[in-house]
């Protein structure tokens, strides 16, 4: 351990502003990249699933429609 106490560690021998500014900006940007990638993935999966459900609904409705038209076509 290069420091005698926690307070000394925070003070960084008088260079606290510089050290913590550099490390702070780095941590924020790295964390931001991870959060962005996760949000991107989540949003994408949600929109893909939503589109898939809509297409399935449409397909089902179309299926019913053709069945009905076949039935009515058969009766006449």
Which residues of the chain form contacts with another protein (CB under 8 A)?
Answer: 1-3, 9, 12-15, 18-19, 21-23, 25-26, 29-30, 32-34, 37, 40-41, 44-45, 48-49, 51-52, 55
Name residue, tokens 């924020």: 28
HSE, CB side, 13 Å, CA atoms: give it for residue 69: 6
Quick one: 36 or 69, whose CB is closer to another protein? 36
Cα distance between residue 64 and residue 58, in whole Å:
10
* Inter-residue contact 3 to 9 (CB < 8 Å): yes
Helix (H) or strand (E) holding 13: none
Q: How far is the CB of 35 from another protein (least distance, A)?
A: 11
Quick one: 14 or 74, whose CB is closer to another protein? 14
Q: How far is the CB of 17 from another protein (least distance, A)?
A: 8
């Amino acid at each position: 351990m290069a420091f005698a106490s926690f307070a000394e560690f925070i003070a960084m021998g008088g260079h606290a502003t510089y050290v913590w500014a550099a490390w702070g900006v780095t941590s924020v940007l790295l964390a931001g990249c991870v959060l962005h990638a996760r949000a991107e993935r989540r949003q994408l999966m949600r929109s893909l699933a939503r589109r898939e459900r809509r297409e399935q609904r449409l397909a089902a409705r179309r299926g019913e429609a053709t069945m009905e038209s076949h039935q009515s076509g058969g009766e006449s």
